[in-house]
Structure 1
């Protein structure tokens, strides 16, 4: 069996920290499943982008980073309201995997309870590379967010008018 890893994230938006985790994981596994979590969520301040948009961002970011998509699966995963069974649900929705790549304490705990080994990647400038921070910069009109995401992802967000969407959503909250 291929030694395959699972990396779950919301990617709202994909940033260089995510890319570094993906690169780190691919040094340790043969293939990597990138699970787009909360796939049903979009058009909120916390989750402004659709699952399809996030899949495109991941593909664009991989290309910008020179990471081959040949060893990567990108799978959207809907939320369920039962944390304890969530790992089993994920197993049903993605190809088989041997190990989980995670720093999120809940994700780590849930998959360890189901017997999975969890590889914890380094933080990779977590204070700078945070999707929450990037969305806050977008809301403030601070274009420095563009340096925190791959160039193709910034262009994609421009094409879909993602910053305008985020600001419009925030103004109605």
Structure 2
């Protein structure tokens, strides 16, 4: 059985993430989705809580043809210890899938195979680009699965984002 670990912040979970996961579902038998920076929320780069991101992802992946596990991963203040921390928090895995240069380096140094899946429409489908649209009241809904739109509405996410982006 092949079990992969896909690590990202998912702030928010968008159509690019969904496309990557759909592709990974063709390569692995089970997928662990590690929500990075799970301990950070309510700031400009991390507006959503880990629990909110779990909701976004699990709802958006309803119907995925392989089993998946969504696991929040807190940051560790010492990068050299982060891989051991991740391994203690998730089921065993064979390969890590990420495009984050630091995550790639840390897992490679630990001797764990790392693959960078192709990114889907990266210019328009980055968390930064989607958040920017959300902060500025621009249309963002087309860039995320409909389930994410629903979660953001439930949690009043746009209002939160606009409030925390104000300066005093």
Please report the TM-score for the alignment, with normalisation by the length of structure 2. Answer: 0.96
Structure 1 Cα separation of the partners of residues 99 and 26 of structure 2: 17
Shift of 1:172: 3.5
* Residues 1:125 and 2:117 are matched in the alignment: no
Post-superposition shift, 1:94? 0.5
Number of matched pairs: 168
Structure 1 gap ranges (5+): none
> Where do 4+ consecutive residues of structure 1 move more than 2 Å?
none
Partner of 2:88: 92
Partner deviation per Cα, 1:60-83 (whole Å, 9 max, x = no partner)? 1112xx424x51011011100111
What is the RMSD computed on CA atoms of the aligned residues?
A: 1.2
Partner of 2:132: 136
The residue that corresponds to 1:67 in the other structure is 64
TM-score (norm 1): 0.93
Q: 1: CA distance between counterparts of 2:58 and 2:107?
A: 26
Structure number with the higher helix fraction is 1
Q: Match of 2:76?
A: 80
Question: 1:23-172 counterparts in 2 under 5 A?
Answer: 23-63=22-62, 66-68=63-65, 71-143=67-139, 145-172=140-167
Partner Cα distance (2:78, 2:123) in 1: 30
Task: Report the alpha carbon displacement of residue 105 of structure 1 after superposing the two structures with TM.
Answer: 1.1
The 1-side partners of 2:47 and 2:69 are apart by 23
Where does the alignment leave 5 or more consecutive residues of structure 2 unmatched?
A: none
